[in-house]
């Protein structure tokens, strides 16, 4: 598993399903594996940041640089686990954990005002100055 030339066995599929709390059906796992293999252009068994950026929707996301820190170098099993937070079947705590990781920019286990400013900077780009962002301090 993880090599583009290999195929998933029933055991592999069940192992991945268990790893992602059965949020994906067997057919969805197979489809995700096909997509993983397309992204893993050199059949290394993991997806690099550059390969993730080849997905236009991902590259256009204003938070893509933050997400890249979370996804760079994922093998197939980790790739599916990451995507499971986006599943309609994912629990609220799973979704919140992903959002927390996106906002905890310095990865210290806390979302501070500076973390929020960093995310706001990514989201607003040049449309908002640092001075305008700093004004928000009184509201948070």
Specify if 61 maps to a domain: yes
> How large is the average pLDDT for residues 84-105?
91
pTM, rounded to two decimals: 0.76
Taking the C-alpha atoms of residue 97 and residue 56, their distance in angstroms, rounded to an integer, is 25
Number of domains the chain contains: 2
Query: What would the pLDDT profile of 70-94 be if each residue is shown by its tens digit?
Result: 888 999 999 999 999 989 999 999 9
Specify if 51 maps to a domain: yes
- Residues spanned by the domain of 82: 1-89
Specify if 98 maps to a domain: no
**3-class secondary structure per residue, the chain:** CCCCCCCCCHHHHHHHHHHCCCCCCHHHHHHHHHHHHHHCCCCCCCECHHHHCCCHHHHHCCCHHHHHHHHCCECHHHHHHHHHCCCCCCCHHHHHHHHHHHHCCCCCCCCCHHHHHHHHHHHHHHHCCHHHHHHHHHHC
Radius of gyration of the chain from its Cα atoms, rounded to whole angstroms:
18
Taking the C-alpha atoms of residue 9 and residue 118, their distance in angstroms, rounded to an integer, is 43
> Torsions phi, psi of 74, nearest 5?
-75, 135
**Does 60 lie in the same domain as 117?**
no
Confidence of residue 138 (pLDDT cuts 50, 70, 90): low
**Does 118 lie in the same domain as 77?**
no
């Amino acid at each position: 598993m993880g090599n583009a030339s290999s195929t998933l066995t029933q055991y592999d599929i069940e192992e991945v399903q268990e790893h992602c709390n059965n949020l994906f059906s067997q057919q969805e796992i197979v489809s995700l594996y096909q997509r993983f293999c397309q992204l893993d252009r050199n059949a290394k068994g993991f997806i690099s940041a550059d390969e993730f950026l080849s997905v236009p929707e991902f590259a256009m996301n204003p938070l893509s640089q933050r997400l890249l820190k979370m996804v760079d170098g994922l093998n197939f099993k980790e790739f599916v686990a990451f995507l499971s937070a986006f599943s309609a079947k994912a629990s609220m705590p799973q979704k919140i954990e992903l959002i927390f990781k996106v906002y905890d920019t310095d990865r210290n286990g806390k979302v501070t005002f500076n973390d929020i400013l960093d995310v706001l900077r990514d989201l607003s780009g040049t449309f908002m100055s640092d001075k305008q962002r700093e004004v928000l301090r009184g509201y948070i």
